[in-house]
Amino acid sequence: MVAIVDYGVGNLFSLRSSLAAIGEEAVVTGDAARLRAADRLILPGVGAFGDAAARLRQSGLDQALLEEARSGKPLLGICLGMQLLLQRSFEYGTHQGLGLIAGSVVPIAPAIPPDYKVPHIGWNALDFPSRRSLHPLFRGLRPGGCVYFVHSYYAAGCESNTIATTEYGADLTAAIALENVCGVQFHPEKSGGLGLTILKNFCKL
């Protein structure tokens, strides 16, 4: 069973529906005991990093997530949920993340040409680094397949754990992974059939 972490951030309707569509039993919960009972965890999130990190801490779910991740349970962060896996974010101040993967969350704008719009919204292609083998999360995917992005900040300083990038005037981190912990900047639950394939792959990790 998959537990979708509910900490009051973001809209979980589509994520729950997309798991149902691939035949995965999922529970949306903010209860640490139920997170511990699940086979795998998804950390979603939309909005500001500081607020989301504070909610995770106040609810005590940060400790449960850290312990479960360290015990080897598969964990997938989506969008802001991926960013929370990193050490810190510079979105409106400096905020501490879960620190499960080394790296920082920084604004896109200084990294791209000025005529590119921010947020980076829309369907963009996934590129897989040639120096490493395709991560199991992307099994069955061809390079150039498009997924749906909506973000103004991106993960930097995590090159050694980057498993996909996307080109938007610069190569932006699209996905990261370190052992059982992975994260995607895009929304698999909004990326059509390709997104469902990625969720299916996660459920097999």
Partner 1 sequence: MITKRIIPCLDVKDGRVVKGVNFLGLTDVSSPVKLAEFYSRSGADELVFYDITASAEGRALFTGILTEVASTIFIPLTVGGGINTLEDFGRVLGCGADKVSVNSGALRDPSLITAAAKRYGSQCVVLSVDAKRLAGQFRVFAKGGREDTGLDAIDWVRRGVSAGAGEIVLNSIDADGVKGGFDLELLAAVCDAVNVPVIASGGAGCPEDFVRLFQTLPKVDAGLAASIFHFGEVPIPDLKRTLRAEGINVRL
Query: Within positions 162 to 181, which residues make up the interface with partner 1, using CB under 8 A?
Result: 167-168
The reply to whether 17 sits near partner 1 by the rule CB under 8 A is: yes
User: Please, which residue, 13 or 99, has the CB nearer to partner 1?
Assistant: 13
Binding-residue total with partner 1 (CB under 8 A): 30
Query: Within positions 102 to 121, which residues make up the interface with partner 1, using CB under 8 A?
Result: 117-121
Smallest distance, partner 1 to C-beta of residue 44, A: 13
The reply to whether 66 sits near partner 1 by the rule CB under 8 A is: no
Among 8, 72, 140, 192, which residue sits at the site for partner 1 (rule: CB under 8 A)? 192
Among 102, 111, 134, 146, which residue sits at the site for partner 1 (rule: CB under 8 A)? 146
Helices (H) and strands (E) in the chain, counts: 6, 13
- CA angle (134, 140, 144) in 5-degree steps: 75
Among 13, 39, 67, 143, which residue sits at the site for partner 1 (rule: CB under 8 A)? 13
**Residue 32 and residue 57 in contact, taking contact as beta carbons nearer than 8 Å:** no
Q: Comparing C-alpha atoms, which of 92, 104, 144, 96 is closest to residue 123?
A: 144
User: Please, which residue, 5 or 80, has the CB nearer to partner 1?
Assistant: 80
The reply to whether 140 sits near partner 1 by the rule CB under 8 A is: no
Q: How far apart are CA 148 and CA 152, in angstroms?
A: 14
Q: Comparing C-alpha atoms, which of 69, 22, 23 is closest to residue 42?
A: 69
User: Which ranges of the chain would DSSP assign to H, the alpha helix?
Assistant: 13-21, 32-37, 49-59, 61-70, 80-83, 192-204
Enzyme catalytic residues:
79, 187, 189
Number of neighbours of residue 152 by Cβ within 10 angstroms? 12
Contacts with partner 1, residue ranges (CB under 8 A): 11, 13-14, 17-18, 20-21, 46-47, 117-125, 146, 148, 150, 167-168, 189-193, 195-196
